[in-house]
């Protein structure tokens, strides 16, 4: 027997229609590429998105076709999120920080029929355009006054396209399993692979992300997504904020500590989200200028492990709650959030911080398990660590065009992470499976060793990698960046580890460098670091 409920499709267009009707006067604020601040409301955004959908149709964009973007977080990119998916086409947000060859590969593999881009990327598009085989229309996200004499054939102006249309447009209805967005992995090994989100998965994910024990978003919030809209849909914030009617504040390309701080203060931001490298710049700006926050209540940190020292700085020095989060492009991306249960709230500061340093609890919609090398499930005891597997309604079951074959193992998606899960359900990444250090048949967590290094007052950033050892297979080496004006020796940093880890986990060496390599999504690039250390030899070997 079936229930007697209406069968209404879950579509992305429903989000902005709801925001218009119920939160029409709530602001969307953008720091533009040109540096000025643009303001309008959900009602105005919805009207412009409808005009844009008509403009796309007039250009010949059809349902199911892919439309690429090379753009920062801003109001025009937001309109593209809704106009493209709303008419039944697929938005392909391309990460401009990737290598040019990867950008060409992604656009050609996606068979994008149009490319919308910010003025920042004019030189990049001029260079790559001859290699982009399927692009029929290039559109600069600008008004007529800022249109350059670019070497791009038949370059169109975004605002001119909108001026030619009215907002008399009804969003079409179609199957909720229709593709809505296409995001590619960063492609650290091999070519990037495309994750194809449906309208259904996007809406369900937005519901899950908004929950009180997830991002806890509401119409009372002012949200600054520092995480880029070209990186896993800005962790769903353009969808989730629209669902609940939160004010959105887009930073554009202005991601330095000073610019982020000023936006937070000027727009009364209550929540922000981004990767640790951005927060490191913000904390340095705050410390150097003896500044405080007046409205920021909480920040979500993900993309890579957040050092406990950073959590302490936000909470103890600035009164900002930190929520560790974890996910993947293939997970839409949210998997866990480190909100505390009632019992953990009552713990002393150190014990509470130990819980917060974990990646958090799975939100409803994400099932997790850890397995050993023989795929046997391991207990949730917080001690045994194994390969992390996930499944759920917003988790990929395959890649676009079948690239890489079937990734699932018995219906579960292998994340490539090594983790523990404690009896309360808090998951902690101990490593990427390719980064775990295998010494004498046992595993050493590089993340644990990195967190200790970063806790030293003279260290700004650190990475730990395994290097070849003739007896033990691999041994850990710390590669660290000192804070400006601070000094610490190799022996002093190694001594800092004493009493904090098992003796056999002790790093064999410390190397100091001016900076560490990062990927296009802001994560530490262990692959690049290992390549640079190929000729390195451990002491006494």
Q: Which of 160, 321, 443, 483 is catalytic?
A: 443
Length of the chain in residues, anyone? 541
Q: Do residues 93 and 333 make contact, with C-beta atoms less than 8 angstroms apart?
A: no
Catalytic residue among 330, 450, 461, 474: 330
Helix H or strand E segment including 438? strand 437-439
Pair of tokens at residue 261: 């701080």
Catalytic choice (185, 195, 329, 339): 185
Closest CA to 194 of 133, 106, 128, 65: 106
Q: Is 185 noted as a catalytic residue in this protein?
A: yes
| Three-state DSSP state, 65 | coil
- Nearest-5° Cα angle at 359, 353 to 361: 100
DSSP letter for 129, please.
Answer: G
Count Cβ atoms below 10 Å from residue 294 Cβ, excluding itself: 9
Distance, in Å, from the CA atom of 438 to the CA atom of 43, rounded to the nearest integer, reads 55
- 3-state SS, residue 339: coil
Count CB atoms within 10 A of the CB of residue 318: 16
CA distance 223 to 274: 12
Joined tokens for residue 473: 């297979």
409 classed as catalytic: no
Q: Are strands 459-469 and 473-482 parallel, antiparallel or unpaired?
A: antiparallel
**Catalytic choice (438, 500, 531, 541):** 438
**Cα–Cα distance, 38 to 419 (Å, whole number):** 43
- 471: helix, coil or strand? coil
Point out the residues that are catalytic: 185, 330, 438, 443
């Amino acid at each position: 027997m079936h229930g007697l409920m209406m069968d209404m499709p879950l579509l992305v267009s429903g989000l902005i229609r709801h925001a218009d009707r119920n939160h029409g006067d709530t602001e969307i604020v953008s720091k533009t590429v040109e540096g000025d601040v643009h303001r309008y409301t959900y009602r105005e955004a919805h009207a412009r998105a409808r005009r844009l959908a008509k403009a796309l149709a007039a250009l010949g964009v059809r349902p199911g076709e892919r439309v690429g973007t090379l753009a920062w977080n801003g109001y025009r990119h937001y309109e593209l999120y809704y106009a493209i998916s709303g008419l039944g086409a697929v938005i392909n947000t391309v990460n401009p920080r990737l290598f040019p060859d990867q950008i060409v590969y992604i656009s050609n593999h996606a068979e994008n029929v149009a490319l919308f881009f910010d003025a920042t990327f004019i030189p990049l598009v001029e260079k790559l355009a001859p290699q982009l085989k399927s692009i029929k229309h290039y559109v600069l996200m600008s008004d007529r006054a800022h249109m350059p004499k670019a070497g791009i054939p038949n370059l169109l102006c975004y605002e001119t396209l909108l001026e030619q249309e009215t907002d008399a447009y009804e969003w079409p209805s179609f199957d909720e399993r229709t593709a809505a967005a296409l995001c590619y992995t960063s492609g650290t090994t091999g070519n990037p692979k495309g994750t194809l989100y449906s309208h259904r998965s996007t809406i369900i994910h937005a519901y899950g992300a908004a929950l009180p024990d997830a991002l806890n978003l509401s119409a009372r919030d002012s949200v600054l997504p520092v995480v880029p809209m070209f990186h896993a849909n800005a962790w769903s914030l353009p969808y989730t904020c629209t669902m609940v009617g939160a004010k959105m504040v887009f930073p554009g390309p202005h991601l330095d500590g000073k610019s982020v701080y000023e936006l937070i203060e000027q727009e009364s931001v209550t929540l922000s989200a981004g990767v640790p490298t951005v927060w490191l710049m913000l904390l340095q700006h705050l410390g150097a200028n003896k500044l405080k926050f007046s409205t920021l209540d909480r920040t979500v940190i993900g993309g890579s492990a957040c050092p406990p020292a950073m959590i302490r700085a936000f909470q103890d020095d600035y009164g900002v709650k930190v929520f560790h989060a974890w996910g993947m492009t293939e997970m839409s991306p949210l998997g866990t959030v480190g909100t505390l249960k009632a019992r953990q709230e009552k713990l002393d500061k150190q014990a509470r911080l130990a819980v917060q340093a974990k990646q958090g609890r799975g939100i409803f919609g994400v099932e997790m398990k850890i397995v050993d090398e023989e795929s046997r499930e391991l207990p949730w005891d917080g001690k045994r660590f194994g390969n992390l597997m996930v499944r759920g309604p917003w988790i990929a079951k395959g890649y676009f065009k079948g690239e890489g074959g079937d990734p699932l193992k018995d219906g579960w998606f292998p994340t490539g992470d090594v983790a523990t899960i404690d009896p309360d359900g808090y998951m902690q990444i101990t490593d990427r499976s390719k980064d775990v250090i295998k010494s004498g048949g046992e595993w050493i967590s590089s993340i644990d060793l990195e967190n200790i290094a970063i806790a030293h007052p003279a260290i700004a950033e650190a990475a730990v990698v395994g290097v070849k050892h003739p007896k033990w297979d691999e041994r850990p080496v710390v590669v660290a960046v000192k804070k400006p004006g601070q000094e610490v020796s190799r022996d002093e940093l190694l001594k800092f580890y004493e009493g904090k880890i098992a003796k056999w986990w002790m790093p064999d060496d410390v190397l100091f460098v001016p900076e560490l390599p990062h990927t296009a999504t802001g994560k530490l690039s262990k692959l690049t670091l290992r390549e640079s250390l190929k000729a390195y030899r451990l002491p006494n070997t």
